[in-house]
């Protein structure tokens, strides 16, 4: 998940004009899509690895108790990542920003529901 954050950070830096908009955006968008769509929930979040069994995990117990909801949230993120790739191919800065914002919303919403809050 941290890798996805890094890719998002680079795309955001492009949109903000910190680096000039360039061919970096597309491979980063594709990497996000590849990473998200490769996540196998059963393998990434195996049974008995939740907070009741591990003190180091940031995951909340409802990843396992509300599996269906978690799965829907992950699928939604993959769809938004596909949109990001499409807009990155177009090279339109506004579209990319919009798609990145939409993806960010799904990521944030998932973190709010299924990840321990950072202090």
Partner 1 sequence: MAPVIINLEKRKIKKVIILLFIFIILNKNDAFSTENGKILSFVAGCYGCHTSNAEQPFGGGYKIKTKFGVFISPNISKDSINGIGTWNKEDFIKAVKKGISPNNKPYYPAFPYNWYINMSENDILDIYEYIYSLPAISNKVTNHNLKFPYNIRELLWFWKFTEKIVSNKKYVDNNKKNNRGEYLVNSVAHCGACHSPRTFLSIIKDYNNLSGQKESSKILNDGIPNISNDINNGIGLWSNSDLIFFLQTGIKPNGDFAEEDMSIIIENGTKYLSPNDLEEIAKYILKNNN
Among 63, 85, 96, 100, binds partner 1 (CB under 8 A): 100
Shorter beta-carbon distance to partner 1: residue 43 or 118: 118
Q: How far is the CB of 100 from partner 1 (least distance, A)?
A: 7
Exactly one of 21, 39, 74, 97 binds partner 1 (CB under 8 A); which one? Answer: 97
Options 81, 88, 107, 114; binder of partner 1; rule CB under 8 A: 107
| Whole-angstrom distance, CA of residue 82 vs CA of residue 64 | 26
Closest CA relative to residue 81, chosen from 113, 104, 115, 109: 104
Cβ nearer to partner 1, comparing 3 with 46: 3
Q: Taking the chain, what is the end-to-end CA distance rounded to the nearest angstrom?
A: 19
Task: Give the whole-angstrom CA distance, residue 5 versus residue 22.
Answer: 19
Q: Which is nearer to partner 1, 82 or 115 (CB)?
A: 115
The least CB distance from residue 44 to partner 1, in Å, is: 19
- 27 is a site residue for partner 1 (CB under 8 A): no
How far is C-alpha 26 from the geometric centre of its chain's CA atoms?
Answer: 16
Distance, in Å, from the CA atom of 5 to the CA atom of 11, rounded to the nearest integer, reads 10
For residue 23, give Cα distances in angstroms to 14, 47, 84, 117. Answer: 10, 40, 14, 35
Residues that bind partner 1 (CB under 8 A): 4-10, 12-13, 15-18, 97, 100-101, 104-105, 107-109, 111-112, 117-119
């Amino acid at each position: 998940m941290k890798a996805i954050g890094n890719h998002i950070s680079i795309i955001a830096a492009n949109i903000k004009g910190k680096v000039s908009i360039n061919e970096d955006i597309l491979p980063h968008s594709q990497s996000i899509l590849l990473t998200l769509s490769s996540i196998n929930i059963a393998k990434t979040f195996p049974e008995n690895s939740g907070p009741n069994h591990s003190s180091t995990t940031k995951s909340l117990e409802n990843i396992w108790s509300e599996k269906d909801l978690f799965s829907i949230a992950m699928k939604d993120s993959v769809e938004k990542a596909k949109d990001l790739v499409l807009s990155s191919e177009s090279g339109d800065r506004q579209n990319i920003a919009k798609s990145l914002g939409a993806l960010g919303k799904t990521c944030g919403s998932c973190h709010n529901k299924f990840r321990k809050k950072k202090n």
